[in-house]
Chain A
Amino acid sequence: MNGAADMGGMHGFGPVEPEPNEPVFHADWEKKAFALNIAIGCAGIWNLDAFRFERESISPPEYLNRSYYGLWVVTLERMMLKYGVATPEEIAAGRPLAPPKKTPRPVTADQVATMIRHGSPYDRPAPSPALFKVGDRVRTKNNHPTTHTRLPRYARGRVGEVVRIVGCHVFPDSHSQNIGEDPHWLYTVRFDGRELWGEDADPSVRVAIEAWEPYLEPL
């Protein structure tokens, strides 16, 4: 979707301002926002792509005005409501008003290390051979779905070169909509900066993205 999260190439945000000796978290609520999201994310109620879709669905004025973990909090609340984990009344009251419909299976403290260690690999067996090979020139599709996509606006309808076949990976466009993992071949595609940003762009710049096969067409 063409939401506020898709920021590549936007102007006017000013300089990058690194914070010297930055702490990992800036407040206790940030720690909780982080940990709650990871913990519930592993409870098997929703998947990461669905979470990302919800986060980028926050209206642009709100998205741009909230801090990073502030966005996590808003997204968590929206997901809890959307997936029936809590009612609006419970969130307003700040406590449960009824037991969960299905007994939850939370990640326990002694499962956390294993859960982190294993992660969630996104590669899957390939249903068919890869359509493209390294060195192929491809054009990205100029699609503007209102649902989740990982093809950023700045890289749509552009010609690039396949520089890596990553593997066959879960397709976030489908996974985020809860219609299955729908694995597709994933490639790293590199563009010349001038192809993305025009002929006056810095000729020494190359930009690469990861693109699933449905994002690409042969030249």
Chain B
Amino acid sequence: MSGHDHHDHHHDHDHSELSETQLRVRALETVLTEKGYVDPAALDVLIETYEKKVGPRNGARVVAKAWADPAYRERLLKNGTPAIAEVGYAGRQGEHIVAVENTPKRHNMVVCTLCSCYPWPVLGLPPVWYKAAPYRARAVNDPRGVLADFGVALPQDTEIRVWDSTAELRYLVIPMRPAGTEGWSEEKLAELVTRDSMIGTGLAKSPADLK
């Protein structure tokens, strides 16, 4: 898709059913590409990267490795960014990553009340609900209510730690390793790790869920 596709036909669209926002994006794109501020081919690479290549499977590999390899788990909890880079993930919106681990006594949940900060290299781009008002408003003052929206109920005495990403630090939750997975390979363990379990709004799948 080149940024020039639409230009010559722009006025045809004035009477089409394209929404105001679609038209606005098209206008901005045309101005930016034709003035040389943006390379249309770079847009395609960016879209391809975040739509197809970067996503929560990356984070699942990190978590599975932490479950399977105690020395790696220790490195990850001590200094998240280099440990995650060991598995091959780094960069934009993940320049400074902290991993926080769930235990029977403590559950971690991540939010960005101010907007949408999220660890892109390991989770990809955030889902709509993460960026939307209901989650941003309630995660900090009613995390148990939010967990209930996701069908998750934790014991009343489980400490809930909410991390509001107000700076350039990004958080990755290490969910608890499900029972009955002793001796599993990292590849198989990674299948149990959901995106939501790494945000803290879900738990890892159980072996039965894979059947």
Contacts and interface: CB of A to CB of B under 8 A. Distances in A.
Nearest to B44: A109
Nearest to A45: B37
A30 to B, nearest CB: 9
B34 A10 contact: no
A24 interface: yes
Contact of A9 (B25, B124, B135, B137): B137
Interface string B6-30: 0100100000000101111111111
B28 to A, nearest CB: 6
A36 B46 CA distance: 9
Contacts of B51: 24-25, 31
Contact of B196 (A18, A113, A202): A18
B82 interface: no
Contacts of A43: 37-38
Interface stretch (B66-74, B161-169, B175-183, B185-193): B161-169
Nearest to B140: A8
Contacts of B28: 36, 73, 76-77, 80, 86, 91
Given A77-B28, A100-B35, A16 B146 contact: yes
Nearest to B133: A13
Most buried by A among B113, B157, B168: B168
Contact of B134 (A16, A90, A204): A16
A56 interface: yes
Interface string A4-34: 0111111101111111001011110101111
Interface in B42-69: 42-47, 49-51, 55
Interface of B: 7, 10, 19, 21-32, 34-39, 41-47, 49-51, 55, 90-96, 98, 111, 113-116, 124-125, 127-129, 131-144, 146, 149-150, 156-169, 196, 201
25 contacts: A8-B114, A10-B133, A10-B137, A15-B134, A16-B138, A16-B201, A24-B125, A27-B22, A29-B22, A29-B25, A34-B46, A35-B43, A73-B25, A85-B32, A94-B30, A96-B35, A106-B36, A109-B44, A112-B49, A119-B95, A170-B168, A186-B167, A201-B141, A205-B144, A210-B165
Given A16-B129, A18-B150, A108-B41, 19 more contacts: A5-B115, A6-B114, A8-B137, A27-B22, A29-B25, A32-B25, A32-B43, A34-B125, A39-B42, A40-B32, A45-B37, A103-B36, A108-B39, A112-B42, A152-B166, A170-B168, A201-B141, A206-B159, A207-B140
